[in-house]
Chains A and B, each alone.
Chain A
Amino acid sequence: MNAPAAFPESKMPLLLGVLFAIGLVAPYAVYPTFLMKILCYALFACAFNLLLGFVGLLSFGHAAFLGTAGYVCGMVVRDIGLTPELGILAGTVAAGLLGWLFGWLAIKRTGIYFAMITLALAQMVFFLCVQIKETGGEDGLQGVPRGHLLGVIDLSDNIAMYYLVYAIFCCGFFVIYRTIHSPFGQILKAIRENEPRAISLGYDVTKFKLIAFTISAALAGTAGATKTLVFQLASLTDVHWHASGEVVLMTLLGGLGTILGPIVGAATIVSLQTQLADSVGSWVTVIMGVIFVLCVLAFRRGMVGELQSLIKRSGVN
Chain B
Amino acid sequence: MSDVILETRGLTKEFKGFTAVADVNLKVERGSIHALIGPNGAGKTTVFNLVTKFLPPTAGSIHFNGQDITHEPPALTARRGFIRSFQISATFPHLTVLENVRIGLQRKLGTEFHFWKSAKTLNRLNDEAMALLEAVDLGSFAATMTSEMPYGRKRALEIATTLALEPEMMLLDEPTQGMGHEDIERVVELIRKVSANRTILMVEHNLSVVAHLCHRITVLTRGSVLAEGSYEEVSKNPQVLEAYVGSDNMNDAHH
Partner of B90, one of A1, A184, A200: A200
Q: Is the CB of B92 within 8 A of A189?
A: yes
Whose C-beta in chain B lies nearest to the C-beta of A207?
Answer: B113
Q: With A and B bound together, what is the CA distance between A207 and B115 in angstroms?
A: 13
Q: Could you tell me how many residues of chain A have their Cβ less than 8 Å away from some Cβ of chain B?
A: 31
Instruction: Give the residue of A2, A199, A201 whose beta carbon is less than 8 angstroms from that of B103.
Output: A201
Nearest Cβ distance between residue A212 and chain B, in whole angstroms? 8
Binding site secondary structure of chain A: helix
Contact (A184, B115) CB under 8 Å given A201-B107, A202-B165 = yes
Instruction: List CB contacts (< 8 Å) of A202-216 with chain B.
Output: 202-205, 207-208, 211, 215
A201 touches B104 (CB 8 A): yes
B74, B83, B114, B143: the one contacting A3 at CB < 8 Å is B143
CB under 8 Å from chain A, chain B span 89-112: 90-96, 98-99, 102-104, 106-107, 109, 111-112
Q: List residues 45-104 of chain A with CB under 8 A from any CB of chain B.
A: none
Contact partner, B113, options A184, A193, A201, Cβ 8 Å: A184
Cα distance A181–B114 when bound, in Å? 11
- B115 / chain A contacts, CB cutoff of 8 Å: 178-179, 182-185, 211, 215
Q: Which of B78, B86, B104, B121 contacts A183 (CB 8 A)?
A: B121
B143–A183 touching, CB < 8 Å: no
**Could you write out 25 A-B pairs with CB less than 8 Å apart?**
A1-B99, A4-B143, A178-B115, A179-B116, A181-B118, A182-B114, A183-B109, A183-B117, A184-B115, A186-B103, A186-B106, A186-B122, A187-B103, A189-B94, A193-B94, A200-B52, A200-B74, A200-B78, A200-B85, A200-B86, A201-B83, A202-B75, A202-B76, A204-B75, A207-B113
Q: Are A202 and B90 in contact (CB under 8 A)?
A: no
The CA of A199 and the CA of B165, in the complex, are separated in Å by 13
- What B residues does A106 contact at CB under 8 A? none
Query: Are B119 and A181 interface neighbours, CB within 8 A?
Result: yes
Q: List the 6 closest A-B pairs by CB distance, nearest first.
A: A202-B78, A184-B115, A193-B92, A197-B90, A202-B79, A179-B115
Residues in B with CB closer than 8 Å to A193 are: 92-95
Docked Cα-Cα span, A203 to B107, in Å, equals 8
Let me know if A204 and B119 touch, CB within 8 A: no
Roughly how many angstroms separate A183 CA and B79 CA in the complex, as a whole number?
A: 18
Q: Which residues of A contact B92 (CB under 8 A)?
A: 189-190, 193-194, 197
Q: Are B90 and A194 in contact (CB under 8 A)?
A: yes
Q: What range describes how many residues of B lie at the interface?
A: 35 or more
Q: Does B145 have its Cβ within 8 Å of any Cβ on chain A?
A: yes
Taking the complex as formed, is B84 at the interface, i.e. its CB lies under 8 A from any CB of chain A?
yes
**A196 at the B interface (CB under 8 A):** yes
B208, chain A: closest CB distance, angstroms: 28
Q: What is the interface of chain A, defined by CB distance below 8 A to chain B?
A: 1-4, 178-179, 181-187, 189-190, 193-194, 196-205, 207-208, 211, 215
- Find the residue from B73, B91, B113, B118 having the highest chain A CB count within 10 A: B113
User: Does B199 touch A at the CB level, under 8 Å?
Assistant: no
B161 at the interface (CB under 8 A from A): yes
- Whether B106 pairs with A3 at a CB distance below 8 angstroms is no
* Minimum CB–CB distance for B44 against chain A, Å: 17
List chain A residues, Cβ under 8 A from B104. Answer: 201
B126 within 8 A of A: yes
Q: Please report the C-alpha to C-alpha distance between residue A201 and residue B96 in the assembled complex, in whole angstroms.
A: 17
Given contact pairs A193-B95, A201-B107, A186 touches B90 in the complex (Cβ within 8 A): no
B75 touches A196 (CB 8 A): no
Q: Does B239 contact A (CB under 8 A)?
A: no
Choose from A3, A4, A199 the contact partner of B75 (Cβ within 8 Å).
A199
> How long is the Cα–Cα vector from A183 to B118 in the complex, in angstroms?
7
Whether B94 and A182, one on each chain, are in contact in the complex, defined by CB atoms closer than 8 angstroms, is no
- Residues in B neighbouring A178, C-beta threshold 8 A: 115-116, 118
